[in-house]
Every structure is written in C-alpha cells, then in structure tokens.
Amino acid sequence: MPVAIYPGTFDPVTCGHVDIVERAARIFTKVVAVVADNPSKNWAFSTEERLSMLRDSLAHIPNVEVQSHKGLVVECFDQCDATVIIRGLRAISDFDYEFQMAFTNRKLDARAETIFLMPSAKYTYLSSTIVRQLASFGGDIRTLVPAPIHDRILARFTGAGK
C-alpha cells in the first residue's frame, strides 16, 4: 500500500499546501504530512503550533496523518515506511532547489523517490512568507490560509482575532 510523506516547514500552512495534500491523498493510500522540527530556521510559529495548525487544516482528509520530525527527511521516510516523498512545484523557480533536494534524498536513501505535484494555478504565487507579510500589515489573508487557522495567524501578527 503506497504511503507518501509530504515534508515542509508549514510556517504557517497555506491553502497551497492543503491543495497539494488533497491531490496526494487521492493518489496514495496514506499521506503523512511532516512538520520539520529543524532548529536552523527562525520560526514565526513553534513546532507545536505548526503541528496543530496543520492538523486542523487537514482534518477533512481521512487518509492523512500529521506528525513532526527532527532530522533528515529520509529518516522520516524510513520510519513511515513510505515509498514516495511529495513536494509541490509552484513555478519553474522552485525547480533548482527541488532538484537538489530530490537528488540529495536519493543519495542518502536509494529508495527515496520524489514525486512533484502542482497546486491549483491560483496558488502558484503563494508562500508562507507572503502570508506572514500580509498578516503583519493587516492585509486580507482569508483566501490564502485554511479557515480553521485564519484567526490564529491574525492573532499572532496583529493581536486581533477576527
């Protein structure tokens, strides 16, 4: 039964990430969305917050699990007994970085195949940085982030809840 992992920082999760997971969940028996608990980035949200937001955003998809992982993606791939690593490709500018990551993962574990999925065209410009920027200047992020976490993101950047 093919299991896929979808690793990312999800700081915070956006509608573009959810779009990718929905597509993957239609292809694979199980999709494990993995929050990187990697200390090298300056997170806006803690691992627990990112995990909780991801869980709430993906709760409508039955064959999805959410977990965090500290360390290499291939270790998580192995622990989940996965056959595929899912990554999203939004634009050609993602390609170099993704190409490097896919080959690095395959070098570390020859079984680690990466499959790239494209989100809906309406999310090709979207990133977590864009969401953080808009939220901190009071811009409308309603169509960019999943409804269950909208207020939590606004609260973090503006102190407002609604």
Per DSSP, the chain holds a count of helices (H) and strands (E) of 6, 5
CB neighbours of 153 closer than 8 A, spacing ≥ 6? 12, 53, 131, 135, 141, 145
Q: Which of positions 11-40 make contact with ligand COA (CB under 6 A)?
A: 11, 14, 16-17, 20, 36, 38
Q: In angstroms, rounded to a whole number, what is the distance separating the alpha carbons of residues 19 and 65?
A: 15
| Exposure on the CB side of residue 31, measured as CA atoms within 13 A | 27
Q: How far apart are CB 29 and ligand COA at their closest, in Å?
A: 21
Answer yes or no whether residue 146 interacts with ligand COA by CB under 6 A. no
CB neighbours of 52 closer than 8 A, spacing ≥ 6? none
Quick one: which of 128, 135, 150, 153 contacts ligand COA (CB under 6 A)? 128
Answer yes or no whether residue 101 interacts with ligand COA by CB under 6 A. yes
Answer yes or no whether residue 119 interacts with ligand COA by CB under 6 A. yes
Q: In angstroms, rounded to a whole number, what is the distance separating the alpha carbons of residues 44 and 12?
A: 8
Q: Would you please indicate which residues are annotated as catalytic (active-site) residues?
A: 17, 41, 90, 128
Cβ closest to ligand COA, residue 30 vs residue 105: 105
Distance from the Cα of residue 88 to its chain's centroid? 9
Cβ closest to ligand COA, residue 16 vs residue 146: 16
**Lookup: tokens for 47:** 């691992």
Cβ closest to ligand COA, residue 1 vs residue 53: 53
Answer yes or no whether residue 105 interacts with ligand COA by CB under 6 A. yes
Quick one: which of 28, 45, 77, 123 contacts ligand COA (CB under 6 A)? 123
Give the footprint of ligand COA on this chain (CB under 6 A).
7-9, 11, 14, 16-17, 20, 36, 38, 72-73, 88, 90, 101, 104-105, 119, 123, 126-129
